Amino acid sequence: MTDTQTPGTDERTPASPAVPRPQIADPGPLGLAAFALTTFVLSVFNAGLIEDGALEAVVLPLALCYGGIAQVLAGMWEFRRNNTFGAVAFTSYGSFWLSFAAYVRFVVPKLPAAHAHQATGLFLLAWAVFTLYMTVVATRINGVLLAVFTVLSLTFVLLAAGELGQSTGVSHAGGWAGLLTAVLAWYGSFAGVANATWKDKSLPTWPLAG
C-alpha cells in the first residue's frame, strides 16, 4: 500500500476548539419572586385577614401559573447553571404549589372535614421536614436565604400543627409567619434583580462562610 502522506505533516484532524457555554441570566430572583408572591397571597387567608371563600379564585391560579410553573422553570435553569441548592429548592417548591392547587381543587372537597384536617396537616408536615434540612444547607449560602428558610420552616410547622390540632389560632400564627417569609423572599428577589442590573452589590445578602 502506498503511503501518500507528505513527510513532516500530520493529517490527523485537529481538535475542535471548545465552544463556550451560552450565558443565561440568574433564575434565582424569578424563583424567589414567584415563591414570595404566591406565599403572600395564601398567607393573607391563613392569617385570617380575608375569608376563605375567595381562596380558590385568587390563590389557585397563582399556585398553578406563578408559584408552580415559574418556579419549576427557575429550578430547571438552576440545573443548567449547576446550582444544586437552587435547582432542588425551586423545583420542589414549584411542585409544592402545583400539588397544593390540585389538592385544594380536587381532593379536599371530597373529604370529610376531620379527614381533610388530618390530610392537610400531614401534607404540610412533610414539607416542614424538607424545609428544615434545606435550612441547614442554607447556613452556608447567605443570610437572606437562611432567614427565608428559617421562617418558612416555622410557617410549615405552625400550619401543620394548626391543621392536625384543628386550632384556628395556631393556623393564623402560621399565616403571619408566612407573610414574613414572603417579605424576606421578596427582598432576596429584589436584591438579585437590582444587583445584577446595576452591576454592583448595592443590596446586601450577607454571604455566609462556606
Please write the tens of the pLDDT for every residue from 11-58.
Answer: 555 556 666 667 899 999 999 999 999 999 999 999 999 987 888 899
pLDDT in the model for residue 55: 82
Report how far Cα 107 is from the mean position of its chain's Cα atoms. Answer: 23
- Could you tell me if 170 and 162 are in contact, meaning their C-beta atoms sit under 8 angstroms apart? yes
Task: Quote the pLDDT of residue 23.
Answer: 84
Domain assignment present for residue 5? The answer is no
Indicate the pTM of the whole model.
0.89
Alpha-carbon distances, residue 122 vs 13, 93, 99, 125 (angstroms): 61, 16, 14, 5
55 is a domain residue: yes
pLDDT tens digits for 93-148?
999 999 999 999 999 999 999 999 999 999 999 999 999 999 999 999 999 999 99
Number of domains in the chain: 1
Is a pLDDT exceeding 90 seen at residue 6? Answer: no
User: Is residue 82 in some structural domain?
Assistant: yes
For 55-78, what is each residue's pLDDT tens digit? Answer: 889 999 999 999 999 999 999 999
Show the domain range for 69.
28-197
